[in-house]
Amino acid sequence: MSPEQQKIVDRVRERIRSEQADLGRRDVAAVDVQRLAKAEIGRHNDYALARGSRPIDDIDASVRSVVAAVAGYGPLQPLLDDDEIEEIWLNGPSSAFVARAGVSERVSLGLADDQVRDIVERMLHQAGRRIDVSQPFVDASLPDGSRLHVVLAGIARGHWAVNIRKFLPGVRSLDRLVALGSMPEYVAETLGEAMRDGQSVLVSGATHAGKTTLLGALVSACRPEQRIVTVEETFELSIDAPDLVAMQGRQPSLEGTGEITLRRLVKEALRMRPDRLVVGEVRDAEALDLLLALNTGLPGAATIHANSAADALVKLSALPLLAGRNIDRDFVLPAVASSLDLVVHCARTPGGERFVEEVLAPTGEIVAGAAVVRTLFRAPEERHRPERRALRRSERAA
């Protein structure tokens, strides 16, 4: 930002303070700031012409810059407004990256440490979250639904580490995923019917494989009369449903009180007359509460990190053991095998393409300590990840 633009930003902020403009809502704030920015740029240009100095030529670009600095998120705002960008991360003020279509690239922002802190604190203020020495990690949802994750300097070496995961609104249905080539049409029809019939579905995959996007599309395929309750650590799911309650956890206060965990949210959700319980991501002891809910006949859906659909079943059978020593694997494994109807595994190619790699259906039987499954779908060999192809070649050679 040029010195002239910085002066305009300072004057706009001063006028906002004097006029007591409403900056609580970003849509209102943008309108107010845009009006003030145009007035101050016009004033600047009048003075510049009178003094024989150079005026600001690109008024529209200057207005956008001022609005981003005052009502938006500064140099990050154009990246947030770019619908092709799905994730933004900062390893430091001079180390910024974005991901488009699953492929990362470095971008030049020219930020300083104090600018990063100012932008993050503005985001956290709007989200009602905080970060400090006593709480050096934070997850928050931004007004547009994006997820913010921050690690304080000192835990992250040198500078604050910032990740912003955007959730693009264009992918909210199974039909859209079919159009993008993520799965064949008949697989989408099978999954949609499973959701409408009240079957329980587990979505697995690695990080950035598209698990949350697929889960949102699956839940959006439910019958409109179904009441859906979702629980997440931080709001991420984008679901189109007429009868929907979405809840997120809460971090503890400075005194260490007030924390709301996923386990608590799952228990509260069961008191809300759900027709389907959705857990954004199962990663800890909340797996037991989900499993108990599914065993009462309540349909569920969730995501889990795993290397394959079979591994997802193994992991879901192990996580409930974290709930306490009195949890027996002899109870958990049959419960997982009998309560889940489908396991859908997502994968991502090195080029960033996301797709459904396999769909398994547990039969309810246990053989040699593992759930017996039927393979309903498996992507063609050429779509499998390179490491999987190499492993299969080595197995065939052996």
pLDDT tens-place string over residues 256-301: 778 899 999 999 999 999 999 999 999 999 999 999 999 999 999 9
pLDDT band per the 50, 70, 90 thresholds, residue 31: low
Distance from C-alpha of 21 to C-alpha of 23, rounded to nearest angstrom: 6
- Asked if the model's pLDDT at residue 167 lies above 80, the reply is no
- Asked if the model's pLDDT at residue 376 lies above 90, the reply is yes
Lowest mean pLDDT among 104-118, 227-241, 290-304, 377-391: 377-391
- Mean pLDDT, the chain, integer: 86
- Asked if the model's pLDDT at residue 381 lies above 90, the reply is no
- Asked if the model's pLDDT at residue 216 lies above 80, the reply is yes
Domains of the chain, first to last: 3-72 (no CATH), 76-165 (3.30.450.370), 174-397 (3.40.50.300)
- Asked if the model's pLDDT at residue 230 lies above 60, the reply is yes
Mean pLDDT score, 122-132 = 81
Higher-confidence residue: 102 or 345? 345
- Asked if the model's pLDDT at residue 250 lies above 90, the reply is no
Residue 274: the pLDDT is 95
CA neighbor of 284 nearest in space, from 262, 260, 309, 310:
262
Distance from C-alpha of 253 to C-alpha of 137, rounded to nearest angstrom: 13
Q: Which helix (H) or strand (E) holds 11?
A: helix 3-19
Higher-confidence residue: 397 or 112? 112
Residue 384: the pLDDT is 60
Residue 28: the pLDDT is 45
Torsion angles phi and psi, residue 295, rounded to 5: -75, -5
> Helices 286-294 and 262-269 meet at what angle, rounded to 10?
20
pLDDT band per the 50, 70, 90 thresholds, residue 359: very high
- Asked if the model's pLDDT at residue 390 lies above 60, the reply is no
Max distance between CA atoms of the chain, in angstroms, equals: 88
- Per residue in 91-115, pLDDT tens? 998 899 999 888 899 999 878 888 8
Residue 144: the pLDDT is 79
Residue type for 363, please?
Answer: T
Mean pLDDT score, 134-138 = 86
Residue 391: the pLDDT is 47
Higher-confidence residue: 28 or 70? 70
Residue 383: the pLDDT is 65
Contact 262, 286 (CB under 8 A): yes
Residue 168: the pLDDT is 66
Contact 303, 212 (CB under 8 A): yes
pLDDT band per the 50, 70, 90 thresholds, residue 35: confident
